[in-house]
Structure 1
Amino acid sequence: MPKNPPESMQHHLRQRLNAHAAERWPQLARVHVRFRTGFAYLAGELKDGERVPLCRLRFTGVLHTWGFALYQAGNDSYRDGILPSGLPAGSAEEALDCAGDLYLKPHAPGGSGPARVPAGLVLLVGPPASGKTSFVRALIAGGQIDADAVVSSDEIRAELFGTSPTEADSDADPDAADARIFEERDRRIVARLAAGHTAVAESTNVTSQARA
């Protein structure tokens, strides 16, 4: 069974996170950190006493690098994710900010609700099962984007070919199918941008060619 970090490291992590929150997240009274079997569970306590689950950190053996999993409000669970750096692990402060951007901004002083994602292109980057879809669903649930803003290559694939290109045609060329899918994805993105709307490109986008 994975072990928790030493007590001294746990104490230091709590101090670091609360010091960072005092500067970055004024809506928080404090950050609660609960350790269990090698994981640190972060929750933010708002000024009114409400606790907001944020993320889970996985102990890697060193203080400054933690695996990241974002809290999934829809099913009260955690899912491994990618930090804004593009990596699945980083500092505890990075993890707090990533989760805070999603779950704490609606509670900002003077805020009237979740901050809407501005019009333009949002490019999600990450390998399969890295949490992109869950992240998008949380944005939709929080009212930060509309559902039709999401342009998903997986959904387009299902529309055109079923789950996989070979379901519709056993002789289909996978490369030709991919080209058709991404041509349609780009067409939809361009149409939304031309109309002044937000377009969220939900694909792996892990290569420079895909992001170009």
Structure 2
Amino acid sequence: MSNRSHSRTSGLASVLLFGRPTRGGRTSAVLLASLAATSGLVSGCADDKPSEVILAGSSGAGFSSTVTTGTTPWSTSPPDPSRACPAEQLDASVDSTSAGAGHTFYSIRLTNTGTPCTVSGYPGVSLIDATGNQVGAPADREIGAKGAPVRLNPGTSAVFSTRFSQPYAYNAEACQPTERAQRLKIYPPNDTGWLTVPVSQPTCGSERISTITVTGVSAG
């Protein structure tokens, strides 16, 4: 390629690239043609080796890639079996009842329906009426019956006992006997959630006298 020919071509390209009018006023059409010609000139001056451009997110023929996110697989630690069993994963039921010497006894079973956990200590117990309102005083703890920690695997149980004194053994004015109580409300040890089981038990309506005692949990 002569210097003269290269100069003429460069000059023409400069005129067209800067949008100067050409014969017939077809600036845009000639501009596109000039760009194509310029591209051809550049290609003609380059090496004859083929080149390939792969856009991000695509692959060429015979090209494969592995996409990674830069994160590690998500995992969780197993539940701690020493944690207190929450009420939401326990099922409460009356295991047995008995009566004697002016008292009624209920054995209550707590069954684990979830992951391994532990119950330990005294549950909270009170009586409630049909609308969920507490009736009388909550249970006192049975002295010398704190039980022992019980690990509950799924499907296993712990038990505790409640003892109800007959309200008629107390001064009527102080006790205010009532039969409004319809359910036993149970707070598992170390938890603020609760469970209920149906009972039919007269009690003192006054919160100044507790007619209920409760033992700690033990293996059932």
Same fold (TM over 0.5): no
The structure with the greater share of residues assigned to strand is: 2
Shorter-chain TM-score bucket reads under 0.3
Q: TM-score, normalised by structure 1?
A: 0.22
Larger radius of gyration: 2
The structure with the greater share of residues assigned to helix is: 1
